Structure 1
Amino acid sequence: MEDLNGTIEPSCLQDPPLAIDVINQLDMFGMVLYSILTFMATVSLVVYLEECVYVYKKVPSPKKMTIIWVNGAAPVIAIMSCLGMWIPRSTMFTDMTSNSYFAVVIYKFLKLMLEEIGGEEAFLKHSGKKTLRISTGPCCCCCPCLPRVPVTRRTIFLLKLGSLQYAIMKTALSIFSIVLWTNGNFDLSDLEITGAAIWINPFIGVLTITALWPVSIMFMHLVKTLQSLKIIPKYAMYQLVLVLSQLQAAIISILSLDGTIACSPPFSSIARGSMLSQQLMIVEMFIVTLVTRLFYRRTYEPLVLDQHESDNGLNAKMIQSPAIGENAA
């Protein structure tokens, strides 16, 4: 914010305000807005906990723990955003917590697809003679010439490793970033080549793409088999949380860094952009939590695989048997 002399409002250059300063500057509209958003975040948490109890009682292990992890993405992000909204100086911690949790969810969603079909053994039995198309997004959707790979235990291990590495590395880099931030070496607004953020964030972006690729490969392979279990809307919700928590937050951060989002004392441009992002996230994750509940809070029965392929294989063996007998004669 600039006055007539071209000077910058001092509060626009300060750190994010304390929680008590946020509360003191709230007007009637602000109090109502903060109350509604806090209520939404609380409802998201209550709905999630109720769903956890249902899944824990109705679903056998280990699928129930995977479902609980996957369902927790939206409520965890909503609660962390609510904390960051009330306590602006905690944004670094709340954002890192949300991102680290969702990094684990990416790996858990891959495991969920395997467990929905009956586990790795059932997947190998069902798809052992098939191949996987690896020319999928976000890495290789524009490379249709890539060869298909056979479905083996090694392939499954590599797919799981591709997603698991992000869960581990994202958490480790988040902790490392917080340590650097406390020492004044990590600043998202510092885009100099000597800054830590300019090196860590692109590396995390590469890890993210690498982790999303195995999930996309597995989804494209099992989408028809798991269609009766509503895997398409489940995958859509997972992708929606990814876009909102990663891409939307990144866009708002860029807009605040270049001054498009104006300073509004006691919030600087960056702090105001972070606040707006958190408020949007609470509303969006509240809606996602309610929609996701419709897909996961259901009666879980064993998946009946289509026997058409097995019948074709049996018929092929019966056709080959007379030919073998004739050759022997």
Structure 2
Amino acid sequence: MDSGSNRTIDPSCTEKPPLAIDIILKLDIFGIVLYSVLTFMATVSMLLFIEECIYIYKKVPANKKSVIIWVNGAAPVIGTMSCLGMWIPRATMFTDMTSACYFAIVVFKFLILMLEEVGGDEIFLKRAGRHKLKISTGPCCCCCPCLPYVAITRRSLFLLKLGSFQFALLKIVFTILSIVLWTNETFDLADLSIKGAAIWINPFVGILTIIALWPVAIMFMHLRIALRTIKIIPKYAMYQLVLILSQLQTAIINILALNGTIACTPPFSSAARGYMMSQQLLILEMFIITLVTRLLYRRQYEPLPEEERDINEKTRMVTMPGSA
């Protein structure tokens, strides 16, 4: 007889995530304080974002309003969705998908933001006439320094935009497809068998993500000197941090939960508890990022100075050897 056959397993460890009312009824003092503080953080994040939108609408030039609002909203939106997922565990899949779709758009918008900070496509192409793009950057080609530099033309700029835009579009398409398959009981994040839809959709979305991040990294490496005066490096760092925390951290915790590494704690199964831990961490992390991004983007938006050869080093783009 199996030595573990006499062990009793709490029924909740094999059931679906609990309902919201079940969580509320079983909260102890620590749980009430924890949920209250995290909900307060998510609420403050969203209120700060709304106030920031008002400031941007009044103070920022029209060509930059939309992209700055989109980029600023990454942390508050993810934090709010995580708060909803914390209170309603059965909606976690939908809240995570909403956050992922929003961030897919932010990836594209951050690329457009860097172009708009320079002055738009036309001014970028005019300023970049004697420069070339270094494409041997992460996450795709950081290990291929032998790749040639690419001339900056309308075609190469279009391909960079297309590389990021495809993720914003296809991520939404695959999210809708996943929801449709879920209603047919075909899509299940916990089903990692070869016959499950998740094992096919998720890796493909991961490839699309890497492809989309590549053009943003290329543009950042090219403009990091020209945009240094507007703190583009910490802005890019915050963008990368949101990516790592919302995608990589969440994926790691969920994998550990699905493997049973995270113990079951009634009324949460192992998987549900992993999702819950992920949501709670994201609320705290996105709250901190919201405060930091508020400081970075709340400034006077003056036109970028004209580039001068070998005079104003702060406004110069990255020049490749032999391209002058």
TM-score using structure 2 length = 0.94
User: Residues 172-218 of structure 1: CA distance to partner in whole angstroms, max 9, x if unpaired?
Assistant: 10111111112211111111101000000000000000000000000
Summarize the alignment of residues 128-147 of structure 1 with structure 2, pairs less than 5 Å apart.
128-147=129-148
- How far, CA to CA, are the matches of 1:252 and 1:34 in structure 2? 20
- How far, CA to CA, are the matches of 1:110 and 1:3 in structure 2? 55
- How far, CA to CA, are the matches of 2:7 and 2:201 in structure 1? 35
User: Residues 61-91 of structure 1: CA distance to partner in whole angstroms, max 9, x if unpaired?
Assistant: 1211100000000000000000000011111
User: Residues 210-236 of structure 1: CA distance to partner in whole angstroms, max 9, x if unpaired?
Assistant: 000000000000000000010000000
- How far, CA to CA, are the matches of 1:267 and 1:197 in structure 2? 22
* Aligned position for 1:99: 100
* Aligned position for 1:249: 250
Contact between 1:92 and 1:178, CA under 8 Å: does it hold in 2? no
* Aligned position for 1:120: 121
Summarize the alignment of residues 181-200 of structure 1 with structure 2, pairs less than 5 Å apart.
181-200=182-201
Amino acid at match of 1:59: V
DSSP 3-state at the match of 2:290: helix
DSSP 3-state at the match of 1:252: helix
Amino acid at match of 1:158: L
Q: Give the deviation of 1:129 after TM superposition.
A: 2.2
DSSP 3-state at the match of 1:290: helix
Contact between 2:127 and 2:307, CA under 8 Å: does it hold in 1? no
Contact between 1:44 and 1:286, CA under 8 Å: does it hold in 2? yes
* Aligned position for 2:55: 54
Amino acid at match of 2:264: C
| Seq. identity, % | 70
DSSP 3-state at the match of 1:308: coil
Summarize the alignment of residues 21-100 of structure 1 with structure 2, pairs less than 5 Å apart.
21-100=22-101
Summarize the alignment of residues 195-274 of structure 1 with structure 2, pairs less than 5 Å apart.
195-274=196-275
Amino acid at match of 1:5: N
Closer, same or farther: CA 38–137 of 1 in aligned 2, 3 Å: same
* Aligned position for 2:171: 170
* Aligned position for 2:279: 278
RMSD: 1.4
Contact between 1:73 and 1:101, CA under 8 Å: does it hold in 2? yes
Q: Give the deviation of 1:128 after TM superposition.
A: 1.7
- How far, CA to CA, are the matches of 2:177 and 2:27 in structure 1? 35
DSSP 3-state at the match of 2:62: coil
Amino acid at match of 2:24: I
Q: Which residues of structure 2 form unaligned runs of 5+?
A: 313-324
DSSP 3-state at the match of 1:128: coil
Q: Which residues of structure 1 form unaligned runs of 5+?
A: 312-329
Larger gyration radius, structure 1 or structure 2: 1
- How far, CA to CA, are the matches of 2:306 and 2:179 in structure 1? 47
Range with greater deviation from structure 2 (139-148 or 122-131): 122-131
Q: Give the deviation of 1:3 after TM superposition.
A: 7.9
Contact between 1:12 and 1:266, CA under 8 Å: does it hold in 2? yes
- How far, CA to CA, are the matches of 2:288 and 2:239 in structure 1? 13
TM-score using structure 1 length = 0.92
Q: Give the deviation of 1:7 after TM superposition.
A: 4.3
